[in-house]
Amino acid sequence: MLLNEENQKRVARAIAAIEKDTDAELVTVLARQADDYRYIPLMWAALLSLLVPLVLAFLPIWLSALETLLAQWTVLVVLALLFRWPPLMMALVPRRVKQWRAANLARRTFLDQGLHHTKNGTGMLIFVSEAEHYVEILVDRGIAAEVPDERWKSIVDTFTGHVKQGEVLNGFLECIASCGDELITKLPATEQKNELPNHLVIL
């Protein structure tokens, strides 16, 4: 678990405290990884195995066509398994692909959690995908009309720094507090409600 049960409760308490003073509905989601990227290790292994004949051409040995083919298959299998090691695999995944996968998961999660169905459109998602070091804040129309996107961007940048340092809990707590400052000012509580769960959702 990225956050133990007690730390998850701290996040829930932080959300509950903010929601007492604002009409906004906050949902926090923590994903270990946005995708399994199974094709990435195989793709790299296949590309590198194609170089085997070229490498052999510069070595003082002679192999038959069958032996060369077996060498290629051996390299393919070994590298495909090696590149499945999570730290190495994530290093091989292009940054743009990681960002795209994480962003897609964030948007699916926004819909899955019902944040687009809140009263007056005041749903907010704070989404983190740990492996990709990805953080995003998504808001419904009621919040978007009151708070400019630039404000969320600065909060996200700070949170992303915490995630890169492995400080996920501190990042969540600081992010919730910063979001709360904006929401309490722009969307103060007009009624007591709790449409969505406050607990941290783990994917």
Percent of the chain with pLDDT over 90: 7
Residue 141, pLDDT score:
87
In whole angstroms, give the CA distance from residue 156 to residue 111.
20
Strands 25-31 and 123-129: parallel
Q: What is the mean pLDDT of residues 89-117?
A: 88
Token duo for residue 20: 């007492």
pTM of the model as a whole: 0.79
DSSP 41: H
Domain at 5-35+94-202, CATH class: alpha beta
- 26-32 average pLDDT score: 89
12-18 CB contacts, 8 Å cutoff, 24+ apart: 12/198, 12/199, 12/200, 14/172, 14/173, 14/176, 14/177, 15/176, 15/198, 16/198, 17/180, 18/176, 18/177, 18/179, 18/180, 18/183, 18/184
The ranges assigned to domains in the chain are 5-35+94-202, 39-92
Q: Which two tokens stand for residue 203?
A: 């994917």
Least confident of 44-48, 94-98, 134-138, 199-203: 199-203
pLDDT in tens, 109-157: 998 888 887 778 888 899 999 888 898 999 888 888 888 888 888 888 8
Q: What is the residue-averaged pLDDT of the chain?
A: 85
Per-residue tokens: 92: 């091989």
pLDDT band with cut points at 50, 70 and 90 for residue 104: very high
pLDDT for residue 195 is more than 70: no
Which two structure tokens, joined as six digits, stand for 117? 């169905």
Q: Give the side-chain half-sphere CA count within 13 A for 116.
A: 6
Amino acid symbol at 144: A
Structure tokens at 124: 């907010």
